[in-house]
Amino acid sequence: MWSGLYVYIIYYSEVNTEVKVEYYTDIEVTYILNIKYILILVIKIWINLIFSFLCDMYKRKEIERNSMADKNNILYLFDRPTEPIFIGKGDDNVSFDVPTEYLIDRYKPLASDIQTRFPGGKTVPITKLNNIPDISIPLGLSRDAPFSLFNPSHSKMAAKLIDILMNTKSYDELLSLSVYCRDRINPYMFTYALSVVIIHRPDTRNLRLPSHSEMFPSLYMDSSVFSRAREESAVVQAGSRTPIEIPHDYSANNLDAEHRISYFREDIGINLHHWHWHLVYPFDGPLNIVNKDRRGELFFYMHQQIIARYNMERLSNNMNRVVRLTNWNEPIAEGYFPKLDNILANRVWPPRPANAVLTNISREVEQITFDIEDLVRWRDRIFNAIHSGFIINTAGQQVRLTENEGINILGNLIEASILSQNPNLYGSLHNNGHNAIAYIHDPDNRFLENYGVMGDSATAMRDPIFYRWHAYIDDIFQEFKSTIPSYSVQNLGFDSVNVQSVEVTATGLPRNEFATFWQQSDTDLSRGLDFLPRGSIFARFTHLQHAPFSYKIVVENNGNQRVGTVRIFMAPKFDERGLPFLFREQRKLFVELDKFSTSSYRQNT
């Protein structure tokens, strides 16, 4: 209590230029000081709370960073896929602390010796699981067998493994089970399944998968590279090794007309794209992974864009557009000799000679048996459904092929994914078309040959026949599109917004001109060279590249500010004869270059 104290508070008004003086008694002072004390206390509390919040946020970020760093450990399972799990992984020789019970039977008696013979750097602890799920289904494929998603039995095995890994309750449990499975499951199947899981699990989806061409480089480049890589890694220390150059023309020469665009088909990047798309959109697996929005439509769109882009490349090389594979009884003129090794199976990838003929497939070991007549029957039923306007589902009900949903229904049915509404009636036209071509060299397994490159999504785009087959598949979708109403102005217009002009600029080039050139890039093979000395060893490949360019789009907006999506397409202007395309033909050749959202401000932007 303050006694006999008067406090003067002076107010100064800049507006009225007056001074006002007030004074308070000791009781009033006590009240004022208590209020001030409370205010100071509240401010201190708020400062402490804010400081505590910032500290907690920083700690959480640190935990997240450390957690993400720890989660990156699972990516070491992709290193040298056929080497045992207990051998160090990566440049840092990271080792997994594998429980003895996790070792395969061959290595269990050697457990103590393994610890001393293969000391690692950083050690990743592995939590031993009390109950290992039943993995007998994925174990149905031997470790040295070729794995193909187009094989229904293989895709079911992979789907089961994906389901098992997705159902683990935590990241630590996922890592532990993955370590247990790695040396037991076919390496190619394991890599595929774990990749799908990492992409789709909330606790791993932000991890960056290593390139598939680094895990299995033999799927993407000339087999002669690897004998030279083994010699280089065995003789030369890491850091002093010379990149191994892949010849520009290693699979054929220009006596084969189709070889003129082999640089496109055999490009590492485009084949990686095809592999990765099927990781994001698998056609078999847990329903919550497969059943994505517009999945069937995107199956159509992605492959249609590839065919359009391929045709642009053909026209640029004075070649005709790709011819659809419509007659399945006549010889296939194009041959293909891939010059690839299948490291898992210790075989070369089988070639397909020119003028090979499709025949019935009877591969009982792989459980693939169908007739070419089955493909014809499925095709006819699909066309009948398109022109009837509906399909028949497994319950015998009609499902309308509407303007909005029809192409999505057809996409899943034609591929065919597990979302097909009647696989018994409409079959598996796309997938078994791949199989018919992949086994054309040995349809009944009498020569014990594996499937050709059309049997794997990582290699299929190398073969000229891929584009003929998918041009035919695309034509089925175009047939459906011809039965639905055309787009209206209301469908495609954007009220009050008009594009005034578009131009492309590139440094050193005239307006609206692109420049492409050959570029050499290096890729590290060390992740996929099992049982060889550690350290990077590079392969150098030549690929098509373009000079940087930018768009300039002038838009007039006569309404309010709006947010819209800009899509930029490119198409060839002239056909094979050098004449301007009619738009009804050109529309199927447009390639989507870019897509982004932007705001259109009032008036001109």
Residue scoring higher pLDDT (442 or 557): 442
Residue 147 makes CB contacts below 8 A (sequence gap 6+) with 141, 154, 158, 186, 188, 189, 192, 344
Read off the pLDDT of residues 267-319 as tens digits, 9 standing for 90 and up: 999 999 999 999 999 999 999 999 999 999 999 999 999 999 999 999 999 99
**For the whole model, what pTM was predicted?**
0.86
- End-to-end Cα, the chain, rounded Å: 69
- Both 386 and 281 in one domain: the answer is yes
Contact 347, 441 (CB under 8 A): no
Burial of 352 (0-12, 13-18, 19+ CB in 10 A): buried
Q: For the domain that residue 524 is a member of, what is the CATH number?
A: 2.60.40.1520
- Both 435 and 524 in one domain: the answer is no
In a domain, 48, yes or no: no
In whole angstroms, what is the distance from residue 414 CA to residue 319 CA? 29
- Both 292 and 342 in one domain: the answer is yes
Contact 459, 352 (CB under 8 A): no
Read off the pLDDT of residues 513-533 as tens digits, 9 standing for 90 and up: 989 999 999 999 989 888 888
- Both 376 and 521 in one domain: the answer is no
- Last residue in a domain, options 483, 501, 519: 483
Mean pLDDT score, 439-449: 96
Is 100 in a helix, a strand, or coil?
helix
Residue numbers of the domain that contains 275: 255-483
Closest residue by Cα to residue 321 from 571, 593, 583, 589: 589
Residue-level pLDDT at 92: 83
Give the tokens for residue 532. 């060889």
Contact 243, 522 (CB under 8 A): yes
In a domain, 41, yes or no: no
Indicate if the pLDDT at residue 366 is higher than 50: yes
Among 101-110, 311-320, 556-565, top mean pLDDT goes to 311-320
Residue that has been written with the tokens 């078994």 in this structure: 432
275 C-beta neighbours (distance < 10 Å), count: 23
Indicate if the pLDDT at residue 460 is higher than 90: yes
Closest residue by Cα to residue 460 from 310, 326, 329, 270: 270
Q: If you average pLDDT over every residue of the chain, what do you get?
A: 89
Q: For the domain that residue 397 is a member of, what is the CATH number?
A: 1.10.1280.10
- Both 379 and 462 in one domain: the answer is yes
- Both 339 and 201 in one domain: the answer is no
In whole angstroms, what is the distance from residue 224 CA to residue 339 CA? 8
Is 82 in a helix, a strand, or coil?
coil
Residue that has been written with the tokens 């485009």 in this structure: 270
Residue-level pLDDT at 603: 54
Q: For the domain that residue 177 is a member of, what is the CATH number?
A: 1.20.1370.10
In a domain, 520, yes or no: yes
CA-based angle 352:356:359, to the nearest 5?
A: 110
DSSP-assigned beta bridge partners for residue 594: 568
In whole angstroms, what is the distance from residue 381 CA to residue 573 CA? 36
- Both 460 and 563 in one domain: the answer is no
In whole angstroms, what is the distance from residue 397 CA to residue 389 CA? 13
Give the tokens for residue 84. 């045992």
Indicate if the pLDDT at residue 180 is higher than 50: yes
Amino acid 42 reads: V
- Both 476 and 493 in one domain: the answer is no
Confidence of residue 3 (pLDDT cuts 50, 70, 90): very low
In a domain, 560, yes or no: yes
DSSP code at position 499: E
By mean pLDDT, which of 286-300, 369-383, 590-604 is the weakest? 590-604
Active-site residue, selected from the candidate residues 232, 266, 297, 415: 415
- Last residue in a domain, options 209, 228, 247: 209
In a domain, 444, yes or no: yes
- Both 465 and 495 in one domain: the answer is no
Mean pLDDT score, 446-473: 97
Give the tokens for residue 97. 């602390």
Q: How far is CA 272 from the centre of its chain?
A: 8
In whole angstroms, what is the distance from residue 286 CA to residue 349 CA? 31
Amino acid 32 reads: I
- Both 196 and 283 in one domain: the answer is no
- Both 311 and 362 in one domain: the answer is yes
In a domain, 1, yes or no: no
Closest residue by Cα to residue 186 from 133, 135, 149, 147: 147
In a domain, 370, yes or no: yes
Residue-level pLDDT at 30: 56
Give the tokens for residue 242. 């010379």
Give the tokens for residue 433. 């078309």
Contact 280, 199 (CB under 8 A): yes
Read off the pLDDT of residues 4-50 as tens digits, 9 standing for 90 and up: 433 333 333 444 444 444 444 555 555 555 666 666 776 777 777 77
Residue-level pLDDT at 123: 87
DSSP code at position 401: -
- Both 499 and 583 in one domain: the answer is yes
By mean pLDDT, which of 93-102, 202-211, 303-312 is the weakest? 93-102
Closest residue by Cα to residue 451 from 437, 461, 465: 437
Is 562 in a helix, a strand, or coil?
strand
- Last residue in a domain, options 467, 483, 499: 483
In a domain, 28, yes or no: no
Residue-level pLDDT at 172: 96
Confidence of residue 56 (pLDDT cuts 50, 70, 90): low
Contact 155, 428 (CB under 8 A): no
Mean pLDDT score, 143-168: 97
Q: How far is CA 176 from the centre of its chain?
A: 25
Q: How many domains does the chain have?
A: 3
Give the tokens for residue 111. 């457990």
214 in catalytic set: no
Confidence of residue 326 (pLDDT cuts 50, 70, 90): very high
